[in-house]
Chains A and B, each alone.
Chain A
């Protein structure tokens, strides 16, 4: 992608704009296809957890085309707007919610040096832009003119504002070690090795998850808070189907409903791939042993490893959803404010002192 943009740069501004549009097309394609797989995975996993079969018929092998069929069905459904709903806001809301998840993809490197833009604020951009999606959910809840939807939206607003704090703090801890916000640099730190490193070498730092006890704690805090950020069980209060019908998207059907669906699954992928990049060494397959990912073939393999890690984390999210019961509203708030936020602050202080005293090369000892 980088080389492509570089080659087109000589052709002037319109070609540059065209290359940006092509990047957007690639991201849009991924964003459209990924949920098809994720939803199928989720349905198969839930069936396994409950000793059922799940989708079995469409497409032959374990119903792998079931989600595509469902997607086509959703696209052809009638686009209902409740008579008393606020038409304009009801109409915009799914798009706004989708934008937040969609725009984060722009800064995510898929292999060494392969990303759409290499922003200096990298990870901070993801934090900032993903908060826009919340506005869409709140908008949907209010515009539906339905009590269930409004409750869902209010819960969403409260939950996301509270869990943004531990997420931001826990992501700051690895940044203290790395000293750079670019996602590419964060991975580069984890596979930094000696100058004359060959194809395989022992990395200086290893994965950030195992870099120090503080980053290990930060990784766990990040994972729990990210569950709440993408409204996954046990934090799926905004839709809580046994209490609120289906929360903020009660009144949505057809294609508009599927946008919220896409947003949820894409955001699950985004938090997972960010977790994989920041804490799990990105495209490096092993914690303390690194490989050179510099030629196209190795980059392709690296991208595969990274995607594998992200899909594994999404799988853990699915696994948790079908294992844990939903929390109560007050328990969610207690979890966020009384446990995760203070823990994240303590970890941040611990990491700062750890780094200050310079005990960074002795893993496991403060």
Chain B
């Protein structure tokens, strides 16, 4: 069961990401990104991070992707086919991190990644997260800082979008 859900969501994330990179049309890439992000939310759930998975869906799929699509849908329908030349440089850039990851995965270096034979029993995370966010010893300062950053972004976007007086 766990194996099946893991492979299903992993395939969703990987195929989605590949489609984002390879599809010629911008809108198709955006929809493929929805698929990839949902796959990642599913992976979080498989690993027992229920709250994080739901946040991933709510923020990325339900919020950011919709705004993304909002923008992309109204752009002209251009398509850019990829060929060997256009992906040569990005491809070379990807080779090194991919090689490192594959090496780690292949050899299973315990120091870098600890492979668990079975997944741990999923535990509810919401309560702990709520406590830690408001704990001075833990993450109170980063939490408040993040909310200040969000507030600044909010005020900034209102400033940019306001109706200017005609001069």
- The distance in angstroms between the C-alpha atoms of A124 and B34, with both chains bound, is 20
Q: How many residues of A contact B (CB 8 A)?
A: 29
Task: Report which of B27, B53, B62, B125 forms a contact with A134, defined as CB distance below 8 A.
Answer: B62
Within B90-149, the residues touching A (CB, 8 Å) are 124-126
Q: Does A132 contact B (CB under 8 A)?
A: yes
Within B18-32, the residues touching A (CB, 8 Å) are 27-28, 31
Q: Render B42-78 as a binary contact track against A, CB cut-off 8 A, 1 for contact.
A: 0000000011011101100111011101100110000
Question: B residues within 8 A CB of A142?
Answer: 27, 69, 73
Within A95-129, the residues touching B (CB, 8 Å) are 119-121, 124-125, 127-129
Check if A150 sits within 8 Å of B62, measured CB to CB: no
Given known contacts A89-B31, A138-B73, A153-B73, A121 and B51 CB-to-CB distance under 8 angstroms: yes
Chain B: interface secondary structure?
Answer: helix
Chain A: interface secondary structure?
Answer: helix
- The distance in angstroms between the C-alpha atoms of A299 and B53, with both chains bound, is 32
Check if A135 sits within 8 Å of B34, measured CB to CB: yes
Q: Which of B58, B61, B62 has the most chain A CB atoms closer than 10 A to its own CB?
A: B62
Known: A127-B58, A128-B55. 19 other contacts (CB 8 A): A16-B1, A119-B50, A120-B124, A121-B51, A124-B58, A131-B57, A131-B61, A132-B62, A134-B66, A135-B34, A135-B66, A135-B69, A141-B73, A142-B73, A154-B70, A154-B74, A157-B66, A160-B66, A181-B126
Residues of A within 8 A of B (CB): 13, 16-17, 89, 119-121, 124-125, 127-129, 131-132, 134-135, 138-139, 141-142, 150, 153-154, 157-158, 160-161, 164, 181
Residues of B within 8 A of A (CB): 1, 27-28, 31, 34, 38, 50-51, 53-55, 57-58, 61-63, 65-67, 69-70, 73-74, 124-126
